[in-house]
Structure 1
Amino acid sequence: MRNLSPALILAVALAACSSEPESPNSAAPVDATTEATEGATVPAATPTPLSSPTPVASPTAAPTPAETPAPGKTLALEGLGALRIGEAVPRGSGWAERGAQIDEGCRTVSSPAFPGVYAIVTEGKVRRITVGQRSDVKLVEGIRVGSSEQAVRQWFGGFRAEPHKYEDRPAKYLTAPNAASGDPAVRFEIGQDGKVSLIHVGTMPVLAYVEGCA
């Protein structure tokens, strides 16, 4: 073999070094906006702002009845059990006139099955049902005699307040704003203790009577 000169050997070595592939361990440029986590590239964390985000309005939750009325013990705009506003007293229902009646044109009826409750009848039809003391009858909302005025207003906002005829403030009447429409409506009597003393359901003008048939 022909002897190579030292200069030629050096030139060959330099050429071989410059043609080697790049090492797999060579560091690649890293994007400033990303960081590697277990081989996966994920966005870099964004700093949490110190100010609170804009609040998202949530719907107002309806109040929950404190207690569900027992079947047959629920007073509604339509009436109470078989006793219906705007209809005659049903035969065989247990509702009947009891005690002295002061007006031939206006009668009151009651039932042993509903102590503390009476109804006013005019022209042969039920015009109002009143729930008083000793009664366990409730509205579907759970409001009953003894409930607070605050509980009433929670369910029945916008009711018209009027001074009570026989009791000093804060006693009052709270009447549905649509009572004058001729449709059945609700009226509460609030005592001086701030609690419901009577609940009336019926049609005007009988709904606003303050002494039974008067």
Structure 2
Amino acid sequence: MRTIVSTIALGLALAACSSEPEAGNAAAAPELTQSVPPTSTAPAPSPVASPSPAASAPAASDKVLALEGLGDLKIGAAVPQGSSWAERGAQIPGGCRTVSSPKYESVYAIVTDGKVRRITVSKGSDVKLIEGIGPGATEREVRQWFGGFRAEPHKYEPAPAKYLTAPNAASGDPALRFEIGQDGKVSAIHVGTMPVLGYVEGCA
């Protein structure tokens, strides 16, 4: 009986001794794991940078008519030297002149006192406002963007032809004015300052 008990005790002692190194190895395992480089050779994915507002903004187009002007032609400024804008065709005597450019079909500007006062875009031009409104757009499309514009009877065409003018046109700042034809579509868009903005026949 004593021999059996001794044998069991000896076995337990040996088991306890053999388990201590394993516990030590388990504690060291995390350090070994961290120091071993990953076996995969695939490159880590590159982070995707979010586009900045400047990068995502559409590029400015010289075919977009704005309150400031069109391309290098600016409301309130002189016609830029060396540009394609120049007087062409017959001119009305006096201080009011018109200039046009071969780059912009069916577009002309009115110049008084040496400064650009109005730019007019007519049928046949591919120039548009930033809203996408251009010659040929419907009156409904115009009013969706410019609902507060003041309507006036057209001087040369019967209703429903009309002028639609920005309510702040008399402020002295550049403003918009649309000509709507009898077909209910835009026949011309004017950008400029009063009183030239309201001229109904070129320089008159």
TM over 0.5: yes
Q: Which residue of 1 aligns with 2:195?
A: 205
Deviation at 1:71, TM superposition (A): 1.8
Show CA shifts across 1:164-183 (max 9, x none).
00000000000000000000
Q: Which residue of 1 aligns with 2:87?
A: 97
Deviation at 1:203, TM superposition (A): 0.0
Q: Which residue of 2 aligns with 1:48?
A: none
Q: Which residue of 1 aligns with 2:33?
A: none
**Correspondent of 1:192 among 163, 170, 182:** 182
Separation in structure 2 between the aligned mates of residue 80 and residue 136 of structure 1, nearest angstrom: 12
**Correspondent of 2:68 among 68, 74, 78:** 78
Deviation at 1:208, TM superposition (A): 0.3
Q: How does 1:127-138 map to 2 (within 5 A)?
A: 127-138=117-128
SS of residue paired to 1:146: coil
Q: How does 1:23-172 map to 2 (within 5 A)?
A: 71-172=61-162
Separation in structure 1 between the aligned mates of residue 91 and residue 150 of structure 2, nearest angstrom: 31
Counterpart residue type for residue 99 of structure 1: G
Separation in structure 1 between the aligned mates of residue 197 and residue 183 of structure 2, nearest angstrom: 23
Higher helix share: 2
Separation in structure 1 between the aligned mates of residue 124 and residue 186 of structure 2, nearest angstrom: 13
SS of residue paired to 1:113: coil
Which residues of structure 2 form unaligned runs of 5+? 1-57
Show CA shifts across 1:64-110 (max 9, x none).
xxxx9982100000000000000000011100000110132100000
Separation in structure 1 between the aligned mates of residue 93 and residue 116 of structure 2, nearest angstrom: 15
Task: Confirm or deny that 1:180 pairs with 2:182.
Answer: no
Which residues of structure 1 form unaligned runs of 5+? 1-67
Deviation at 1:133, TM superposition (A): 1.5
SS of residue paired to 2:103: coil
- Who wins on radius of gyration, i.e. which is larger? 1
Counterpart residue type for residue 179 of structure 1: A
SS of residue paired to 1:213: coil
Superposition TM-score, scaled by structure 2 size: 0.70
What is the Cα-based RMSD across aligned positions, in Å?
Answer: 1.3
What's the % identity of the aligned pairs? 78
